[in-house]
């Protein structure tokens, strides 16, 4: 039942080799993916430094209660809205 046979040994060796090479392939793919991400960040980093997003203050509309930016706000369309437009 638990005896060693050539078939069991070959099967075990085949499974070990498949797992070994599977991990090698996954490692190579992961290394390529990380290199692509790094290159993309380097390429994007030079252009993103020019226009960094800024934070804006938000204020609540006294009529409808929705939050809008404090600069460039437009009217919500309801009667008595304090914002122009």
Pairing of strands 58-60, 67-69: antiparallel
- Do 48 and 14 share a structural domain? yes
- Better-scored residue on pLDDT, 56 or 19: 19
Range of the domain at 15: 1-52
Q: Nearest-5° angle of CA 34, CA 37, CA 38?
A: 85
Q: Is pLDDT at 77 greater than 70 in this prediction?
A: yes
Q: Hey, what are 26's tokens?
A: 């996954």
- Do 58 and 39 share a structural domain? no
- Do 1 and 26 share a structural domain? yes
- Do 45 and 10 share a structural domain? yes
Q: How many domains does the chain have?
A: 2
Point out which residues pair with 59 in neighbouring strands: 68
The pTM is what?
0.44
- Do 26 and 48 share a structural domain? yes
């Amino acid at each position: 039942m638990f005896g060693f046979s050539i078939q069991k040994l070959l099967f075990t060796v085949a499974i070990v080799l498949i797992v070994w090479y599977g991990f090698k392939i996954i490692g190579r793919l992961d290394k390529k993916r990380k290199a692509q991400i790094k290159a993309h960040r380097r390429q994007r980093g030079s252009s993103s430094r020019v226009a960094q997003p800024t934070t804006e203050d938000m204020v609540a509309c006294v009529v409808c209660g929705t939050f809008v930016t404090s600069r460039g706000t437009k009217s919500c369309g309801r009667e008595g809205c304090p914002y122009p437009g």
